[in-house]
Chain A
C-alpha cells in the first residue's frame, strides 16, 4: 500500500476503492439501487399475484434494487434457479452478478469473485458482450478492493475495451472512473487524473450527476494527495453534496476521511477528527465494513498524533478486526484460486480450440499421409503388376518361341519321318489313312561286304561310316523328290511317286541311284582319312503299293506290296556298282537311260524275271 507523509506522520492512503463497487452497480443496472422499489416488488412477488411471464423480471428487479445483502443474495439465488428452469441465460448472468454483489456487500469477497467469474463464464458462452464487460468490471473492483492492482488493471482494461466495442459510453466512463481509483490507490496519481478526466468528460456530456459527483470527489482526492488542499476541498465538498442528495453513503464516508486528511495537513485537529468521526458513523450506520476499518484507522492515527494513546489503540484494534475480515490470507488464496480457475478455464477453452484445430490438422495430415501411402502402395502394386505382366509377357513370348521352335523341330522331325502330306494328316486327324499308289518306283541299296566290316569295326566307327553314306543319299533323294522309307542295317530304301503321284518317278529314282553309285565310287578314290569304303548294289522296281503309317509310337511311314518285294529281289540280284531294274521300271526309263538287258533270271518265289542294268544316262 502506498503511503503519504504529512506533518511528520505516516499513514496509509485511504482505500477509496470501496466506493467503486457501489458506483459501478448503480450504472450498470441502468437505474439506481432503490430499496423502496425492491420492497414493493418483493411484496408483489411474495403475494404470488403476478403473471407467470413476469417472474424472472420481478426477481431480477428485486435482486438488483435490494440493498440488504442477505435478501439480495436470496433473490439472486432464486433468480438463478428460476432462470435455469426456463433456460434463460441472460437472467442467469444477472443472477450471478447480483449474487456476487450480495457477497461483496456481506464482505465475503472470495464468494463474490466466484459468482462474478461464473457470470463472466456464462456471458462468454452466450457471447453476451455487455454482460461480460459488467462481470469483468465487477471482478476488477473486487481485485481493487483486495489491493491486487495488477489484476484489477487487467480486468478494468478488459471491461473498458468491451464497453467501447459495444459503444456504451456510460459504462466506459464508469470503468474509467473505477480504474482511475485503482491507480489512485496505488499512488499513480497522474494516471488516475487522466482516467478521472476522461470519465468526467463522458459523464458531463451524458448529464449523469452521480458520475460527475464521483469524479469531483476522486479528482479532489488526487489534489489532496498532491497537496493542493484548497482545490481538493472544493471538489470533495461538491461531490459530498451531490452524493447526499442521492443518498449514496459509501463514497461519502470515503470522502469524509479525505477531508479529515486535508484538515490534518492544515493542523486543524478538531475538524480532522470531526470528519473522520463522521465517516465512521456513516460507515457503521450503513454497515460499510471496509470503510469502518479505514475510518477506525484514521481516528487511531489522529488520536495517536494528539497523544491520546488509549483511544488510538482502541480504534486501531477495531481497524485490524475489520481489515482482517476483508483481507484475510485465506480469502486471498481462495480468490487467487478462483481467478486462476477462471483463467485456466478460459485458457483451457483456447487450448481446447487449438487442440481441436490441431486435431483437425492432424486428421488432415494423417489423411494426406494415408493418401500418399496408399498412392505409393498402389503405384508399387501397379508397378509390380506391370512388371509381372511384362515379365509374364516376355515369358509367354519366350515360351511361345520355345513352343514354336519345339513345334518347328517337332514338325521337322515329323517331316523327317513322314512325308509332308502324311505328317499334316497325322497332325490334323491323329491318324493316317492307308493309301494306294498305282505306280511307284522303289529303290533298295546294299553295301557289299558290310557284314564283314561290321564284325571288325568299332560300333562308333561303323555308325559314322554308314552315316557318311546315308547322309549323302538323303541329300540325293531330296534333290530328286524321292521319299526315304527306311534304312535296315546297311540297306537304304526309298521310293519315287509318293506321296504325290508323278509321271517321272522311275526316271528320278534311277537318276538318284546313278548319283549314289557315283558318290560311292568317288568316295573310294577320295579317302583322305582312310575310312572303310564299300561297293554298292542297287535294285529298283516299279509297281503299285499301299502306303501308310503304322503304330502309335515311333511312327513309321512304310509301303507294302509285291512291288516292294520285287524291288528288294532286284537289289539282291544286282551287282557291285550296278543298278538292277525290273521290266516295269525299264519300260519307263528306257528312253532316258542306256540299259543293258540281263535276260531272265530266277527270282525266289517269283520265277524267271527279266532284269536290266542301267548303265548311264542316254545322251
Chain B
C-alpha cells in the first residue's frame, strides 16, 4: 500500500491558458511529454496528495484547488475533491476502487504572486490519468 504525492511544477511567471502545457509539468519540472499522458498507478485504499510548486519564483504559490473524476463518483467516493484550504492549497483523496485501464481526471490549479498575493491569470486545468498497478 503506497501513498502518492503528485507534484505539479509550474512556471508561474510565464504560464497562460494558451501555454499551459509548456509551463506546467506533473511529477518533474520541465518533464517531456504531455500532462494528459501523465499516469499514476494506484490501488484501492491508497491516498494521493496533489500539491504544487513554482519553478520560476520561489515565493509564488501554486494552489491545487480541485480534482474532478470525469467518469462518476465511484473512484474517490465523490466526483469532485476540493482543496484543503491550506497555503499553499493541496488536494488529498483516497482511491475507493481499482481504476479501469486508464481513467482521466481534471486537476484545477491557481497561481498566486508570492510578492503581492495577486492571482495570476485565473484557474488552469489539466487532465492526467490514473491506472491500476500492473
Contact = CB atoms under 8 A, between A and B. Distances in A.
Interface in B65-99: 88
Interface residues of B, number: 18
A77 B2 contact: no
A47 interface: yes
B29 interface: yes
B36 interface: no
A310 to B, nearest CB: 34
A45 B7 contact: no
Given A46-B55, A84-B2, A78 B31 contact: no
Interface in B18-57: 27-31, 49, 51, 53, 55-56
A47 B11 CA distance: 10
B29 A74 contact: no
A493 B88 CA distance: 142
B59 to A, nearest CB: 11
A70 B9 CA distance: 15
B29 A80 contact: no
B66 to A, nearest CB: 20
Contacts of A307: none
B4 interface: yes
Most chain A Cβ neighbours within 10 Å, of B5, B29, B31, B56: B5
Contacts of A304: none
Contacts of B9: 46
A48 B29 contact: yes
Nearest to A45: B29
A47 B7 contact: no
Contacts of A55: 28
Contacts of B30: 46-48
A81 interface: yes
Nearest to A79: B5
Most chain B Cβ neighbours within 10 Å, of A45, A70, A81: A81
Contacts of B27: 81
Most chain A Cβ neighbours within 10 Å, of B9, B31, B51, B53: B53
B6 interface: yes
A46 B9 CA distance: 8
Contact of A47 (B4, B29, B31, B58): B29
Contacts, number: 36
A48 B55 CA distance: 10
Given A74-B53, A77-B49, A77-B51, A46 B7 contact: no
Contacts of A77: 5, 7, 49, 51
A520 to B, nearest CB: 122
Interface string B9-21: 1000000000000
B97 to A, nearest CB: 22
B53 A81 contact: no
Contacts of B53: 46, 74
Given A74-B53, A77-B49, A48 B5 contact: no
Contacts of B7: 74, 77-78, 81
Contacts of B6: 81
A72 B30 CA distance: 20
Contact of B31 (A39, A48, A70, A81): A48
Interface string A130-143: 00000000000000
A331 to B, nearest CB: 18
Interface in A399-414: none
B82 to A, nearest CB: 20
A42 to B, nearest CB: 8
Contacts of A39: 58
Contacts of A82: 28
Most chain A Cβ neighbours within 10 Å, of B2, B55, B88: B55
Interface string A51-71: 000010000000000000011
A74 B29 CA distance: 13
Contacts of A42: 58
Contacts of A84: 2
Contacts of A70: 88
A82 B6 CA distance: 10
A80 B5 contact: yes
A78 B5 contact: yes
A164 B9 CA distance: 42
A48 B23 CA distance: 12
A-B CB proximity, top 5 nearest: A48-B30, A46-B55, A77-B5, A46-B29, A48-B29
9 contacts: A45-B29, A46-B55, A47-B29, A48-B29, A48-B30, A74-B51, A77-B5, A80-B5, A84-B2
Given A45-B29, A74-B7, 9 more contacts: A39-B58, A46-B53, A46-B56, A47-B29, A71-B58, A74-B51, A77-B7, A80-B5, A84-B2
Interface of B: 2, 4-7, 9, 27-31, 49, 51, 53, 55-56, 58, 88
